[in-house]
Structure 1
């Protein structure tokens, strides 16, 4: 019996050892026969994630030498833009990480020297390119060398010395670029910049007079700040938009969350829901102000190309919709001045305003400032000036008149205002529903007297407020829940009769 057990144990051990050896040899063989995965050796992993996608418009492909094929052109474009991204990132961080992956040994030398000099001098440069117009000049017969000319390259740069802002430039240049094929990737061997001149942004504005004068900021009651999520329901939109139409309102302001919509790669189902919302609005004669970039707050120069791709997809898809009223670039961006820097925020807004206008020159563009004091910023770039007002309603008439004096040639819209009716544990001295009614009654009197276009906040009270909106503090959350004209049980509050100057129903 012992002999049989011993023999069995030896056989099993032998089989396990053989299996381990064979497995090891198989893994080694597989490894040796697998080419180097560039994404696995790159620190940046930009092969997997879109991080730099400026507008690229290729010119003629009737080049000298070898004919250019679509696959090579696509690979060349990807490597070229990745090289730009790595260079911009190197100048911003004064790090040489990733440079060797996109530049040949000769080209790296100049980049390394520049990075070393900037680091020693305390210089950092935040930069991006927004447009490229390349054309192939030569493609060698052996498929190892390409020369291109990239004209009208739009560049934005911001320089800091010891973290102090010193310079901002917008330029347009032409680049001559020579690529060598190394390890299956196109690396830059030479890049020569020429014909540089200041870039003059086209800041045309349109005179807008026929804007809807009576509107409201809208979220469905069950899904505040998540209009286009899983709870999206066209029947809810039908019901709500019918209420708004019957109340005499003419427009709604809605919000597109940047990350939720997919950032640079817009989710098709989200865009479809946004378009369906406009379809529903059109059935009830409601015009729609679309507020872009909700919950976005980075403003990084290296994000600009991603932000533009996001805006381009949405604006180009909806610019011809009959329900579209206009574009609000960003909700209350001045609240980010302290944390992100006013100069950074305003530069981003300036860029994005011009970009949206270039895609849709027909509809007005505005910025939803959180107060009247900030509304004069970029007043010459926007088509309509808009601001929010949550201060003493008795001062509104004076504030609005002051803005009209400051900006006499532009329509001015009060795109958010309201009063919470929360009065409870977390705010025992808050306003009652009766006080809210008196507030809106007075507001409508002021609007009628001064012909002020308005968009109130908001149709419904909400049972829950996302933490991202006002934070975790209970007195802020509970206050935010009670701005509506209809309570969370579906009953119209006393203020509803003043949702508009000609409401039909106050029941």
Structure 2
């Protein structure tokens, strides 16, 4: 037995020794491979300064007619990627006053000026939030040995906010032309020299669209079985088409639907979701309904560093739908003023302002609005939107006065009461809530006010819902139950008394 135990111990020791040697050899091999092949830059960079899905400004190259050696598409794409990486790490550095990543995209001599500026800003407690929105590069020169390249980047659109001691001291959007010299080092293009010239204020060419013939009599729409997940696995064009026919037969002419930023793939928009969106627009067109398309639902990060991702998302959707006959208008964001406290009012408004410009640069035919949650915010960006939209869930007794005040602030633009309604929930979680009869009286009175003030409208909403996602009103049952009973049709598919007043006609 003693000899047997010794054999077991000897076997364990030998196996442990072999495993240890194997681990050492693997480790040495990894180091050797790293030193000989050069580290993958994505493993060298901190995750917060990687460009992948972080920074996607619009880039439009001029036709390649450079001096020197011809540059193939693969090399040009590599140059573009490294160039944008350089912009991004610089923007991160200016925001954080840290130099991480700078050495990967700038040569030693080019880094010196950046380091000096960052050190100065740190000492003065200055931070800069910035991004570029559009680049128009031209390849001027590519050396015969493939080690040097020169580009001119014309009319770069650059937005920046400068803070001193956390106080905003400057906000500007400008265009500049840059001359850049690159050196190929370790397989990557690094900026050797960058000169900025011809800086001038950015002139926005987007114009408001006349919508004097706008005539919205509509409703906010989600299918009853899958609200807030309209384009998910349970998507059904047949169900939507049936609902749209019902809406049209009820005397309405339009629906408001919602595109969720993450659900549609963020910057890399999901083509399957786009196809479902097209089928929805097709169903509207087949039933003579127009669609107000609300973008960026369930999105609340207005950080300047994310603007280019947001713009690529919006751009792809707008390009996809802009020629569809059912499209009526774009609603840039649902109730963005609810994010003023948590995200900063200035941040939210700047994001909206620039997003309007982006949408109008892609589609200059369809009008744009913003779905404000109240009348107090509805005049914000009134000169940028084509019609003004607001939501109202307060006491109807105060609505006439609120409309009167809003009209004095709006310069002859149509006003749409884009959401309004009353829940008919009265139960365990709200025993003194409103009844279905109360809901009917509410809509009767609301339509009288709408007619009196010559408003256009989109009520909330067609159906009562059994399930309300927590993202909508949180987890509290008394809030979810109330939210589930705003419809004109109950969960059994029966019209409620309020249905009589779904339209003012």
Using structure 1 for the length normalisation, give the TM-score: 0.94
Of 185, 189, 194 in structure 1, the residue corresponding to residue 188 of structure 2 is: 185
CA distance in 1, matches of 2:145, 2:361: 42
3-state SS in 2 of match to 1:374: coil
Structure 1's 487 and 20: CA in aligned 2 closer, same or farther, altered over 3 A? same
Once the two structures are TM-superposed, the CA of residue 242 in structure 1 deviates from its matched residue by 1.8
Once the two structures are TM-superposed, the CA of residue 283 in structure 1 deviates from its matched residue by 1.0
CA distance in 2, matches of 1:330, 1:382: 12
Of 213, 216, 233 in structure 2, the residue corresponding to residue 213 of structure 1 is: 216
CA distance in 1, matches of 2:137, 2:106: 18
What are the superposed Cα offsets for residues 160-208 of structure 1, whole Å, 9 maximum, x if unpaired?
1111111101110011111111111111111111111111212411110
Once the two structures are TM-superposed, the CA of residue 17 in structure 1 deviates from its matched residue by 5.2
What are the superposed Cα offsets for residues 266-293 of structure 1, whole Å, 9 maximum, x if unpaired?
1111111111111111111111000001
Contact 1:177 1:190 in 2 (8 A): yes
CA distance in 2, matches of 1:388, 1:122: 41
Structure 1's 347 and 13: CA in aligned 2 closer, same or farther, altered over 3 A? closer
CA distance in 1, matches of 2:196, 2:373: 42
Aligned to 1:452: 455
CA distance in 2, matches of 1:176, 1:378: 35
Aligned to 1:135: 138
3-state SS in 2 of match to 1:376: coil
CA distance in 1, matches of 2:319, 2:82: 27
Specify every segment of 5 or more residues in structure 1 that has no aligned partner in the other structure, as ranges: 503-507
Aligned to 1:394: 397
CA distance in 1, matches of 2:252, 2:22: 76
Aligned to 1:412: 415
Contact 1:176 1:193 in 2 (8 A): yes
3-state SS in 1 of match to 2:378: helix
Note the 1:303-322 alignment, pairs <5 A. Answer: 303-322=306-325
3-state SS in 2 of match to 1:299: coil
Structure 1's 277 and 8: CA in aligned 2 closer, same or farther, altered over 3 A? same
CA distance in 2, matches of 1:403, 1:260: 34
CA distance in 1, matches of 2:250, 2:430: 31
CA distance in 1, matches of 2:102, 2:212: 53
Structure 1's 5 and 445: CA in aligned 2 closer, same or farther, altered over 3 A? closer
Contact 2:49 2:101 in 1 (8 A): no
Aligned to 1:492: 495
What are the superposed Cα offsets for residues 125-156 of structure 1, whole Å, 9 maximum, x if unpaired?
11011111111111111111111111100111
CA distance in 2, matches of 1:358, 1:226: 29
CA distance in 1, matches of 2:500, 2:291: 22
Aligned to 1:284: 287
Structure 1's 10 and 253: CA in aligned 2 closer, same or farther, altered over 3 A? same
Specify every segment of 5 or more residues in structure 2 that has no aligned partner in the other structure, as ranges: none
Aligned to 1:245: 248
When the two structures are aligned, how many residues end up with a matched partner? Answer: 502
Structure 1's 423 and 25: CA in aligned 2 closer, same or farther, altered over 3 A? same
Once the two structures are TM-superposed, the CA of residue 41 in structure 1 deviates from its matched residue by 1.3
Contact 1:327 1:364 in 2 (8 A): yes
What are the superposed Cα offsets for residues 193-228 of structure 1, whole Å, 9 maximum, x if unpaired?
111111121241111023232100001112111111
Kindly indicate whether residue 147 of structure 2 is the aligned counterpart of residue 150 of structure 1: no
CA distance in 1, matches of 2:472, 2:4: 74
Kindly indicate whether residue 484 of structure 2 is the aligned counterpart of residue 481 of structure 1: yes
Aligned to 1:257: 260
RMSD: 2.1
CA distance in 1, matches of 2:12, 2:386: 82
3-state SS in 1 of match to 2:464: coil
CA distance in 2, matches of 1:445, 1:243: 23
Using structure 2 for the length normalisation, give the TM-score: 0.94
Structure 1's 351 and 7: CA in aligned 2 closer, same or farther, altered over 3 A? closer
3-state SS in 1 of match to 2:136: strand
Aligned to 2:117: 114
3-state SS in 1 of match to 2:112: helix
Range moving further from structure 2, 394-403 or 311-320: 394-403
Note the 1:55-74 alignment, pairs <5 A. Answer: 55-74=58-77
